């Protein structure tokens, strides 16, 4: 069992620090939060935390795309990433403090009453999430891919080699270009080096509950968009999503099954976190909130961290979004120029995927 200090450290790495980094995305001046989360403090906090976590994972992937092909050690990669991520957290915390003193104190405090039905829905949602986490930890699922992905995390932590050893035999060989871009196992190794918890324990008993909770936070942000004028129904919406997940284990390869059996594997993160996030930012862009193009680009980088398959899977999704939005604008506005301009934010979000595709071909 991990000691209490190790648990505290990993919680700090996964909760407060990403939230502080999310402070970088607090709107400046009269700019508002995207997606209609402006009027609820809870949704703004979730928005900043999710963005901070995306930034945490995207920055790790950017460092990994440089250090892993260069065959640098885990120690070097960790040093480079520590400087970058902790700098982002410090700058974000400065932004949060500045925002509080310059804006929050000018606002009048308003007492907001929460309807009893809404409290009941939030309580039911927390109970459902608690049951799912308990079941996940106590009924651990072991998959054949453990011998590769979890072993890759262990090798990175204990030997310092990054995708140079065969996890099945331990022999050193050429760089495994097929998997080297998807650095989520290395991120788990980074967590292990800082907190001292074994990589296998992190992969199987910590990342699962963490990603499940994150998944529901993402659906809360999605609900804030779909129910923009009826925000009291958001907890009910997320609760229904939870019931859907519980009852969708109809195949070994559904996204819902991956959520509970392969959360340590990038494909589960891609299907249950990256795809919903991408749909959120696409929704914002369709509503002319073009600043979400930055969030879409960061999500694209995070998707590559999860799986190299995202290069074409997410690319296809964004390509379809470009065609749909472009045709809609062309038919409605009857202007080819406006149609092209409307899809530029989506194209900007695709750029990391194009770059990753080039790197993958070279590897």
Range picked from 121-135, 186-200, 221-235 for highest mean pLDDT: 186-200
Q: What is the pLDDT of residues 301-318, one digit of tens each?
A: 999 999 999 999 999 999
30 has pLDDT over 80: no
pLDDT for 120: 86
Q: Which two tokens stand for residue 80?
A: 């480079």
Pair 322, 328: CB distance under 8 Å:
no
Q: How many CB atoms lie within 10 A of CB 34?
A: 24
Handedness of CA 78, 83, 84, 85 (dihedral sign): positive
Most confident of 27-36, 39-48, 248-257, 308-317: 308-317
Task: Report the distance separating Cα 265 and Cα 259, nearest Å.
Answer: 10
φ, ψ of residue 322 in degrees (nearest 5) = -60, -45
How remote is the C-alpha of 127 from its chain's centroid? 23
* Per-residue model confidence (pLDDT) at position 175: 85
Q: How many CA atoms lie within 13 A of 102 on its CB side?
A: 11
200 in Cβ contact with 150 (< 8 Å)? yes
Higher pLDDT among residues 318 and 42, named by residue: 318
Q: How confident is the model at residue 104 (pLDDT cuts 50, 70, 90)?
A: low
Residue percentage of the chain with pLDDT more than 90: 48
Mean pLDDT of the chain: 88
Helices (H), 265-309: 266-269, 275-286, 292-306
**In the chain, what are the domain boundaries?**
4-108+123-362
Highest mean pLDDT among 154-168, 208-222, 237-251, 256-270: 208-222
pLDDT for the residue 90: 96
Is residue 263 pLDDT above 80, yes or no?
Answer: no
Rounded Cα distance between 84 and 221, Å, is 27
Q: What is the pLDDT of residues 44-103, one digit of tens each?
A: 899 999 999 999 999 999 999 999 988 899 999 999 999 999 999 999 999 999 887 776
Structure confidence at residue 336 as a pLDDT band (50, 70, 90): confident
pLDDT of residue 344: 94
Q: Would you state the pLDDT for residue 238?
A: 92
Res 35 pLDDT > 80: no
Q: Is the pLDDT of residue 187 over 90?
A: yes
Mean pLDDT within 236-247: 89
Give the pLDDT score at 302.
96
Helix, coil or strand: residue 196: coil
Which of 30-39, 178-187, 331-340 is predicted least confidently? 30-39
* CB hemisphere CA count around 243 (13 angstroms): 9
């Amino acid at each position: 069992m991990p000691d209490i200090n190790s648990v505290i450290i990993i919680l700090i790495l996964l909760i407060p620090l990403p939230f502080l980094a999310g402070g970088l995305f607090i709107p400046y001046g009269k700019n508002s939060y995207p997606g209609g989360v402006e009027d609820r403090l809870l949704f703004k906090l979730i928005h900043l935390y999710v963005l901070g976590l995306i930034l945490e994972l995207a920055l790790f992937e950017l460092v990994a795309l440089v250090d892993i092909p260069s065959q640098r050690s885990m120690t070097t990669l960790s040093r480079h990433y520590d400087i970058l991520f902790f700098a982002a957290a410090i700058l974000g915390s400065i932004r949060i403090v500045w925002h509080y003193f310059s804006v929050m104190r000018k606002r009048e405090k308003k007492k907001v009453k929460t309807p009893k039905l809404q409290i009941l829905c939030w309580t039911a949602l927390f109970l459902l999430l608690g049951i799912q986490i308990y079941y996940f930890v106590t009924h651990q699922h072991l998959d054949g891919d453990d011998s590769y992905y979890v072993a890759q995390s262990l090798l990175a932590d204990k030997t310092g080699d990054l995708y140079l050893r065969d996890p099945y035999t331990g022999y050193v060989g050429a760089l495994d270009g097929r998997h080297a871009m998807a650095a989520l196992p290395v991120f788990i190794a980074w967590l292990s080096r800082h907190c001292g918890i074994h990589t296998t324990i992190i992969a199987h008993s910590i990342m699962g509950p963490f990603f499940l909770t994150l998944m529901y936070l993402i659906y809360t942000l999605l609900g804030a968009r779909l129910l923009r004028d009826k925000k009291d129904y958001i907890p009910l919406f997320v609760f229904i999503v939870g019931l859907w997940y519980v009852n969708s284990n109809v195949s070994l390869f559904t996204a819902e099954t991956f959520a509970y059996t392969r959360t340590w594997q990038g494909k589960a993160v891609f299907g249950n976190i990256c795809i919903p996030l991408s749909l959120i930012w696409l929704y914002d862009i369709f509503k002319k909130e073009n600043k979400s193009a930055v969030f879409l680009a960061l999500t694209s980088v995070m998707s590559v961290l999860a799986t190299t398959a995202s290069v074409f899977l997410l690319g296809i999704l964004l390509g379809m979004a470009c065609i749909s939005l472009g045709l809609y604008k062309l038919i409605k506005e009857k202007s080819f120029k406006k149609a092209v301009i409307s899809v530029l934010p989506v194209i900007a979000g695709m750029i990391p995927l194009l770059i990753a595709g080039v790197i993958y071909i070279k590897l």
